[in-house]
Amino acid sequence: MAAGGSGGRAGEQRPYELVVFGASGFTGQFVVEEVARAASSGELRGALRWAVAGRSRTKLQEVLEQAAERLGKAALGPEVGVLLCDVGDPGSLAAMARQTRLVLNCVGPYRFFGEPVVKACVENGASCIDISGEPQFLEGMYLKYNEKAAEKGVYVIGSCGFDSIPADMGVLYTRDKLKGTLTAVESFLNVKSGPEGACIHDGTWKSAVYGLADQDNLKKLRKKIGYAPVPVVGAKLKRRGFVFYSQEFKQYAIPFMGSDVSVVKRSQRYLHTQLQETPVQYGAYVNIGGLGSVVKLMIAGILFLLLVKFSFGRKLLTKYPEFFSAGRFTKKGPTQKQMDETSFTMTFFGEGYSEGQNPENGKPNVKICTQVKGPEPGYVATPIAMVQAALALLEDISYLPKQGGVYSPGAAFSKTKLIERLNSHGVEFSVISQPEV
């Protein structure tokens, strides 16, 4: 690995091990709290030197005070730095990147604000993690910066939040728990909320609006990258319809619209081409409930798809998120009570071939069911996933891919202790039913 960069704790000393950029944003404040929790828990080798970065010193100070209060402390202590930095000012981004081994980038939508941060990190020898669920941004960064990051020995790892760590690491966990060869997995997401319901901050809504409007460019981008096709091993996984009744959950389900499938596919391609592992086919779905929910969703979906095609439609959608999402997305984001009462379960149904069976012929003869469970996905599970990914990157350095580059979580972390770290922080991986032959 290149010197400097994100090398171990030896080598070139930078004042900070990690910096949270966009710390005073809606998601950023929760990430700060999670870093503060990790730093004060004493589970790390040595003290964690870290900083917050953003445009306003006052706001950053407020976020640090709030985090201290949430942790029941008077203050977070002088070892936490404050850096002034603006995504529109490349000089300030470069200065931030030079002072740390790792940037946790919380400034989205990433399609508009993500690249300057990746560029500054790669050019100045810092690794970078984000929580983007935008395939076009994630794969665009791979196309542009993979080789440069490899030269510098730094890691750029996208989608380290709820999109897409539970899915990506969940598939690897399922694979590792099956005695034999896992060849296909389907996941079903269930989000449970309390009496006050669940809602999401409108930053995510904006990403969805612009992402769907830009599907055609994603196809072009993938052509440019020229991915080698991932071979299908074992029985081909059937794609399900747009709405179907799930026997397992006794409710209707639809394909999950997030980045999970594209992220898992990138991980599987990497593990297959670089480590000669058997690639796993993957489908992602979300349970939506009874017929009433289906009808509501259909109406909202049709309206959304009509409006997203036109610029005035996109303006309407981004101006009135609450109206067009039936209250699911709001400019204020969820209340603390809503977050406390919300949780998610992702259930994985895997199939494959027992040891000694050749996946090239015959039907799959083993099944396995696993689960990833966690707290509210957007602002509780996401910061946990992001911070544990950061710690895996800083602490499990010898288990990362030998070469720097732009990676999906599964590709970067498949050999690290990330799943153990998540398990001990409330995002829990478990086997529900063992394979029966």
Tokens standing for 200? Answer: 């999401």
Query: Cis before residue 279, ω within 30 degrees of 0?
Result: no
Model pLDDT for residues 266-316, shown as the tens digit of each residue: 999 999 999 999 999 999 999 999 999 888 888 888 888 889 889 999 999
Model pLDDT for residues 12-40, shown as the tens digit of each residue: 689 999 999 999 999 999 999 999 999 98
Model pLDDT for residues 101-117, shown as the tens digit of each residue: 999 999 999 999 999 99
Q: Evaluate whether 74 touches 68 at the Cβ level (below 8 Å).
A: yes
Asked whether the CA dihedral 289, 177, 367, 413 is positive or negative, the reply is positive
Terminal CA-to-CA distance of the chain, rounded, Å? 44
Q: Which residue has the higher pLDDT, 435 or 373?
A: 373
Residue positions counted in the chain:
437
Q: Which residue has the higher pLDDT, 202 or 63?
A: 63
Q: For position 224, what pLDDT does the model report? A: 94
Q: Which residue has the higher pLDDT, 361 or 70?
A: 70
User: Count of alpha carbons within 13 Å of 197, Cβ hemisphere only?
Assistant: 8
Which range has the worst mean pLDDT, 6-15, 86-95, 230-239, 366-375? 6-15
Q: CA triplet 117, 120, 122: central angle to 5 degrees?
A: 105
Model pLDDT for residues 173-187, shown as the tens digit of each residue: 999 999 999 999 999
**Where residue 4 falls among pLDDT bands split at 50, 70, 90?**
very low
Q: Which residues are registered as beta bridge partners of 255?
A: 285
Q: Which residue has the higher pLDDT, 41 or 365?
A: 365
Task: Please give the backbone phi and psi of residue 321, each rounded to the nearest 5 degrees, phi first.
Answer: -60, -40
Q: Evaluate whether 395 touches 217 at the Cβ level (below 8 Å).
A: no
Is residue 129 predicted with pLDDT exceeding 70?
yes
**Where residue 6 falls among pLDDT bands split at 50, 70, 90?**
very low
Model pLDDT for residues 383-409, shown as the tens digit of each residue: 999 999 999 999 999 999 999 999 999
Alpha carbon distance 46, 10 (integer Å): 13
For residue 161, what is the DSSP state?
Answer: B
Helices 260-275 and 135-152, packing angle to 10 deg:
30
In the predicted model, what is the mean pLDDT of residues 195-213? Answer: 83
Alpha carbon distance 206, 202 (integer Å): 6
Give one DSSP letter per residue of 325-365, joined into a string.
TTTSEESS---HHHHHT-EEEEEEEEEEE-TT--TTSS---
Q: For position 165, what pLDDT does the model report? A: 98
Task: Please give the backbone phi and psi of residue 207, each rounded to the nearest 5 degrees, phi first.
Answer: -60, -40
Q: For position 435, what pLDDT does the model report? A: 61
Q: What's the Cα-to-Cα distance from 133 to each of 130, 137, 257, rounded to whole Å?
A: 9, 9, 10
Q: What's the Cα-to-Cα distance from 307 to each of 223, 315, 428, rounded to whole Å?
A: 27, 9, 39
Q: Which residue has the higher pLDDT, 258 or 273?
A: 273
For the whole model, what pTM was predicted? 0.94
Q: What's the Cα-to-Cα distance from 172 to each of 267, 268, 395, 410, 414, rounded to whole Å?
A: 9, 9, 20, 7, 7
Is residue 166 predicted with pLDDT exceeding 80?
yes
